[in-house]
Amino acid sequence: VLAHRRVDGLILSTTREDPRVLRALEALTMPVVLVDRVLSSPAFGKVTVDNVAASRQGVAHLVEEGHQRIAYLAGPQDIPIMRQRLQGFREGMAALGLPVDPHLIRTGDLQVRSGEQLTVELLRGPARPTAVMAANDLMGIGAMRAARRLGLRVPDDLAVLGFDDIPLAE
């Protein structure tokens, strides 16, 4: 539809790779730029974030602030950038000589409610984290809501680090 309406180009932000969509995009005669997505075709321009390095930096920041028991709220692992962010978390912990406790990694759906529910579970668990790192800001906001719901203060009682810098995260 866009090709027939004479648009000059397409900027695409998608989370999943569909081979049919990929073939259709490659057939377009207009430029296609992908945002935070690397597809297997060299036909597209791209603007990306180094998700692995950014997650490693997040871990380093939390450790600099004195945290060692850091929980991670992961996004769905069928989304490549979510796998990269979890990989960066694991690498960041390992680089600093900290163990990754599998009980402190939870996977959600990238929404506020999911972050809140998962963080309540973590905070009520036997090995409560002192910090929560979330794969996106919405789950980070959920983590903050969970802390408040349980009478904890952020960042005094629980540090929360999100990812993406959406306006709501301010």
Amino acid type, 169 = A
- Residue-wise pLDDT for 145-157, tens only, equals 999 999 999 999 9
Lookup: tokens for 128: 């409560």
- Report whether pLDDT(41) > 80: no
Q: Between these two residues, 23 and 109, which has the higher pLDDT value? A: 109
Model pLDDT, residue 39: 64
- Residue-wise pLDDT for 57-111, tens only, equals 999 999 999 999 999 999 999 888 999 999 999 999 999 999 999 999 999 999 9
Q: What is the 3-state secondary structure (H, E, C) of 29-88?
A: CCCEEEECCCCCCCCCEEECCCHHHHHHHHHHHHHHCCCCCEEEEECCCCCHHHHHHHHH
pTM across the whole model: 0.86
- Residue-wise pLDDT for 114-124, tens only, equals 999 999 999 99
In the numeric block, the tokens 């996106």 are attached to 136
C-alpha torsion angle, residues 57, 63, 65, 67 (rounded to 10) = 140
- Report whether pLDDT(126) > 80: yes
Name the DSSP class of 12: E
Question: Rounded distance, CA 29 to CA 81, Å?
Answer: 28
